[in-house]
Chains A and B, each alone.
Chain A
Amino acid sequence: METRRRRLLLLVLVGPATLILLSTSIVPLVYSVLLSLQNYNLTDPFGRRFVGLYQFVRALRDPRLWQATVTTFQILVPSLVIELVLGIGIALLLNRKSRGLKAFRACILLPMMVTPVVVGLMWALMYNTNFGILNYFLSLVGAGAVEWLAYPNLAKLSLILVDIWQSTPFVVLIVLAGLQSLPPLAYLAARVDGATRWQTLRYITLPMLRPIIAVATLFRLLSLLVSFDVIYVLTGGGPGSATETLSMYIYKQGFVLCDVSYASALSYIFLVASIVATTRLVKLTAAPSQQYSGGGAS
């Protein structure tokens, strides 16, 4: 009797959340499998047929898919590395117990809270070739006007800059939180042993920060992998297809060209690849998190 009531209670408590999440994750994913095995194009609803694995074969031969994969990483890797280095650097520089730090935290958290679409608009104004403030600053140091969004590589760089502006604060805040929770005893011991500042940083601070840096890396990686909003507003994937990331390419196949079957197949490839990549990263970075090993004496 008791267990039956307990089960009922659990069902009432956990059931609704589970149902809603099922309906928006597993159900569409199953439906997506069915779609990817057909050749359904919304512009041609009567030509809908079962075509087996054709869409996946097509994807493997699609140069634009490879291009989009490369583009995604060309934007992702520099953004991630610079955000981590800059974020950890700023956090180390500013780690002190002071009233200034609290005000600083309130200021620096603002960029990451601004609606991504608005971030795109805001930078579009600043990147404008003739009247943008960035080119004005450049002209002050004697540089000519730059067409920020007109050339393939420059457009990628512009997107990287925006992401660095918006997401470095995330790394700073997480690392600051980690720094302020490190045990003071370890530092005392280091001082007693006569460690220099650099040695303290290298053998005490950074190894102990490792789990928190892993968390920051993982969250940045996940959101960079699927970033869409700012690209949509700022470049729309252009010029040409220079900033067309995987999310952008799937969006165009599914909602501009209306090829929903092909978009589903692409989604699956994207999904599996990102799951494999992130689980490997989790194993790589988070494994030795709980031990105070020899301080990374490799």
Chain B
Amino acid sequence: MSNGKRDTRTAAGRARLMRSIGYLLAIGLVSLVFLFPIYWMLATSLKSRVQTFTLPPVWLFKPTLEHYVQVITERQLFRYMLNSLSVVVSATLVAVLLGTMAAFGFVRLKFRGSKDLAFWMLSTKMLPPIAVAVPLFLMFRQLRLLDTRVGLIWIYAAQALPLAVWLMKGFLSDIPIELEKAAMVDGCSTLGVLRRIVIPLALPGMVATALFCFITLWNEFLFALVLTGTEAKTLPVMAAGIRTRRREIWGEVGALGTCIALPVLAFAVLIQDYLVRGMTFGTVKR
């Protein structure tokens, strides 16, 4: 950019400057299109009731938090948020712990069929969720797990495990094996190596993996819809029950949507460098 500024007097310099401006405009335009719906939801949540359906739309307005208050008091936001949080956080912890252990087994203790087993784990993610929803529902009914947090944690841990195993496989194989060998020479056991060398070194990877699992599970809808009723209902299921046809509650819909989506968006920006890796289960590294 500074180059372009320095020699704007020459024709080539001017062309370069124009290209840079064109490039920034293109970036801005594409971003605008993709960000607009999110902005619109946020704006709707902060408008007063009348402003939410005024046309032409009010672009400048004094923000009000009345819809957020409504969502908290009338729709019991915190109750469902607590359900979502407790289930998702527990399942994430289980998945990252068990996933790291399994990944360590796959990476460092290669055994017969280890590749097949790892691929089988990944392939469970290819199962259409609806295909196992019916039998799981009946199993849950028999085991009296319907509408309990424990039941949902079990399913969610399984949902996040393939992701955790494959991401951790990638992160663990990035660690130079010499460190572990040196520790073993010094008399450390395999579990000791895992605890003293591997986990401290893999910690950033584990945090990224955990955030990924959290986002995936927080956004999950189908299993929560089918396996919970009133007690363990999660936020997305509660939100899906809102009637958007009635325009009087648009502000509430916006506020609720913002409350659900915002934590996830914040996490997503935090892990953006790992994003491609995570979304493709580690098949695309960068």
Contact = CB atoms under 8 A, between A and B. Distances in A.
Interface of A: 6, 9-10, 12-14, 16-18, 20-21, 23-25, 27-29, 31-32, 35, 90, 93-94, 96, 98, 100-101, 103-126, 128, 130-131, 133, 136, 165, 168-170, 173-174, 177-178, 180-181, 212, 215, 219, 222, 225-226, 228-229, 232-233, 246-247, 250-251, 254-255, 260, 263-264, 267-268, 270-271, 274-275, 278
Given A120-B240, A270-B131, A17 B101 contact: yes
The 6 closest A-B pairs by CB, nearest first: A13-B105, A28-B135, A24-B158, A124-B244, A267-B131, A17-B102
Contact of A173 (B154, B222, B275): B275
A10 B44 CA distance: 54
A125 B44 contact: yes
A18 B102 contact: yes
A40 to B, nearest CB: 9
Interface residues of B, number: 89
B286 A181 contact: yes
Interface in B115-164: 117, 120-121, 124, 126-139, 154-155, 157-159, 161-162
B173 interface: no
14 contacts: A17-B102, A20-B161, A28-B136, A32-B131, A35-B134, A113-B265, A124-B244, A124-B253, A174-B279, A212-B284, A255-B134, A255-B137, A274-B128, A275-B126
Contacts of B222: 228-229, 251
A177 B286 contact: yes
B236 to A, nearest CB: 4
A197 B155 CA distance: 51
Interface of chain B: mostly helix, strand, loop or mixed: helix
Contact of B98 (A17, A105, A274): A17
A117 B105 contact: no
Contact of B190 (A9, A93, A169, A229): A9
A10 B30 contact: no
B261 to A, nearest CB: 5
A20 B94 CA distance: 10
A122 B134 CA distance: 29
Nearest to A90: B30
B41 interface: yes
Contact of A24 (B53, B124, B236, B257): B124
Given A109-B275, A267-B130, A9 B283 contact: no
Given A116-B221, A174-B279, 12 more contacts: A20-B157, A20-B161, A21-B158, A28-B139, A93-B26, A113-B219, A118-B261, A254-B137, A255-B137, A260-B134, A263-B134, A264-B134
Given A13-B102, A32-B135, A255-B137, A125 B40 contact: yes
